[in-house]
Amino acid sequence: MKVFVSEVQKYWPKLEASLGHSFQDKALLTEALTHRSFANEYQVENLPDNERLEFLGDAVLDLVTSEYLMATLPEAPEGQLTRIRAEVVSMPGLARIASSLDIGSAMLLGKGEERSGGREKSSLLADAVEALIGAVFTDGGFDAAKAVVLPLFVPMLEEASKVEGQDFKSRLQEMLQASQRALPLYKVADAFGPDHERIFLVEVILDDTVISSGQGRTKKSAEQAAAELALVALSEET
């Protein structure tokens, strides 16, 4: 076990350098990088896994990213801020960060988890990122955590903010163009209600197939609602 641990630990100084934080308490770094499979398998005395730090890091990450979005998007409504944060602080987003930091190589994993490709599992890597943020917060406080989080997450937050600012029809068109598919058609399938409260039902047609439909008080708003649902449907396909 000692040989295995020393082999993994050689990645830790580089990880600290990439984070921009040198741990005063190295035990916190060890804890953040210890998966429960390792702790359970080797039963090293006083060696906790990273789940508690993950819990803390999740809260710290939400706070730091929320504060950033509030400051940089002062006119954005709560719903928009929530969507931007959720897109970035998600398993795929966290896994991207983990990959850029090579966290997989630095983790202490049990033999079974190692054999099953644990160093490349998105869920495991995402949890490790949150645990590291929790460890930095515990080691150095909120300012230290903020100094680590912002350089890593701001590019993704900015990217998500730009996408969120676009309308759903534009986003749907861009998605289809990127995958070299035909552009959608919008068809008013129905209109009902009194003249002063008219409701339009619009369908999105792709490759001669209705993939979604949306309602609105105007044709434009119904098209936007239908395009939003089409984005969801196409995302679920992939």
pLDDT of 61 strictly over 60 = yes
Catalytic residues: 58, 130
Counting every residue written for the chain, the total comes to 238
Percentage, residues of the chain above pLDDT 70: 95
Q: How confident is the model at residue 41 (pLDDT cuts 50, 70, 90)?
A: confident
pLDDT of 84 strictly over 90 = no
pLDDT of residue 4: 65
pLDDT of 238 strictly over 90 = no
pLDDT of residue 27: 93
Distance of alpha carbon 69 from alpha carbon 58, whole angstroms: 16
Q: What is the DSSP string of 74-107?
A: TT--HHHHHHHHHHHSSHHHHHHHHHHHTHHHH-
pLDDT of 45 strictly over 70 = no
Among 34-48, 109-123, 142-156, top mean pLDDT goes to 142-156
**Domains of the chain by range and CATH?**
2-164 (1.10.1520.10), 168-237 (3.30.160.20)
Per the model's pLDDT, the better-predicted residue between 134 and 91 turns out to be 134
pLDDT of 202 strictly over 90 = yes
* pTM: predicted TM-score of the whole model, two decimal places: 0.70
